[in-house]
Amino acid sequence: MVTIKDIAKLAGVSHTTVSRALNDSPLIPEGTKQRIREIAASVNYTPNFNAKSLVLARSFHVGLFFSTLDKGTTSGFFHETVTGALSVIKDRYHLIVNAIDSYGGAYGSVTPQSFDGIIVMSQSHADESFIRYVWEKRIPLAVINRRAEPLPVVNVLSDDEAGVFRAVEHLIGAGHRRIAILEGKTGFQSSQNRKNGYLRAMAKHGLDVPQPYQVAGDFDLESGYIGMQQLLACDPLPTAVFCSGDELAVGAMKAARSRGLSVPGDISIAGFDDNAFSAFVSPALTTVKRPVVSMGRLAAEGLLRALAERRQTVETIRVPTELIVRESVGPAPTP
């Protein structure tokens, strides 16, 4: 492997001069820089980042951690977050991806020497210990999707509650009164936020929310199917169901249909997330869109800002949600 010392020898200067030239130091005159750069290129020199890391105490790595990868994180969500983060990280840092629950609480390998900064896509309050750990190690931190208070970090939040509120009001506006909810994974903050939006809308319009109308799911298709079966056992049947995720909604539609019910003829269904397939199922899903790619991007930008300023920036970024009206919600059937 070719090092700056080899280049130094070729150029007839000291390795210090080479280092400075390649780092574009103002101490070196332009001509010398040129010459050294050319030599470096001609022997196709690539810097050893391990050595740089050691002396600069920077790793050139940014971590992106999800609460879990195989238990409750939907593919689209994962994909979009990574895409968003990578779009700003690009070649300035390497992006290390992992799941928090894979550590089993032993975060030993997460050190300030290994990570210049960390983005946590936080879905569950079980992340609390990880977030606190990172914070205590003084690693610059950005948290997406869950309020990171009281820790002063970059925090990117979508207004789920408002989105759900609008969606449920949309159902109410279509004449529905008996509206059930298929909740997300228990313990996930997003589940709670969305439920709050539902409850607030129902309360505002003086509508009842009986216990059997509230069923917990797991954000995946299967639990949507199962949860819907539970709801379909209720008497009286709800005329509309708000689902805390699109996958839940698609599972629920499946269950409704296999019970001989038409969507939205007999029962209306609304989802949350606007997954890639949501416009393409039949009927196309009315849902709440959350700009996940942007959230990943904003978190990465915030983190990089913090890194550039060499201090922990405190910043809360809110992104809006948007109601997407499609076909899965219809007027309430007349009794």
Indicate the pairing of strand 287-289 with strand 268-270. unpaired
H or E stretch covering 241: strand 240-243
59 binds, among DNA, a second copy, none (CB under 5 to 8 A by kind): a second copy
| Range 249-288, binding a second copy (CB under 8 A) | 250-251, 253-254, 257, 276-277, 279-282, 284
Q: Which residues contact 3 (CB under 8 A, 6 or more apart)?
A: 15, 45, 48
Told to check if 155 binds DNA by CB under 7 A, we report no
DSSP string, 184-218: --TTBHHHHHHHHHHHHHHHHTT----GGGEEE--
Among 9, 13, 191, 292, binds DNA (CB under 7 A): 13
SS3 334: coil
The single-letter DSSP state of residue 325 is -
CB of 224 to DNA, least distance (A): 49
Instruction: List beta partners, residue 323.
Output: 288
CB of 250 to a second copy, least distance (A): 5
Told to check if 51 binds DNA by CB under 7 A, we report yes
**CB of 21 closer than 8 Å to CB of 30:** no
Among 52, 79, 137, 177, binds DNA (CB under 7 A): 52
91 binds, among a second copy, DNA, none (CB under 5 to 8 A by kind): a second copy
Instruction: List beta partners, residue 275.
Output: none
Stretch that binds a second copy, among 17-25, 108-116, 296-304, 312-320 (CB under 8 A): 108-116
Write the interaction track for DNA spanning residues 54-93; mark x where CB under 7 A is met and - where it is not.
xxx-------------------------------------
13 binds, among a second copy, DNA, none (CB under 5 to 8 A by kind): DNA
CB of 41 to DNA, least distance (A): 14
Distance CA 171, CA 282 (A): 19
**CB of 77 closer than 8 Å to CB of 292:** yes
**Which of 154, 194, 160, 182 is CA-nearest to residue 292?**
160
Distance CA 108, CA 106 (A): 6
111 binds, among DNA, a second copy, none (CB under 5 to 8 A by kind): a second copy
CB of 33 to DNA, least distance (A): 8
DSSP string, 26-70: TTS-HHHHHHHHHHHHHTT----HHHHHHHHT---EEEEEES-SS
| Range 290-309, binding a second copy (CB under 8 A) | none
Told to check if 40 binds DNA by CB under 7 A, we report no
**CB of 292 closer than 8 Å to CB of 81:** yes
Among 12, 29, 31, 70, binds a second copy (CB under 8 A): 70
Distance CA 141, CA 155 (A): 9
Would you tell me which residues interact with a second copy (CB under 8 A)? 1, 46, 48-51, 53-54, 59, 61, 69-70, 73-76, 78-80, 82-83, 86, 90-91, 94-99, 102-103, 108-109, 111-114, 220-221, 224-225, 247, 250-251, 253-254, 257, 276-277, 279-282, 284
Would you tell me which residues interact with DNA (CB under 7 A)? 1, 3-5, 12-17, 19-20, 22-23, 27-29, 32, 45, 47-48, 51-52, 54-56
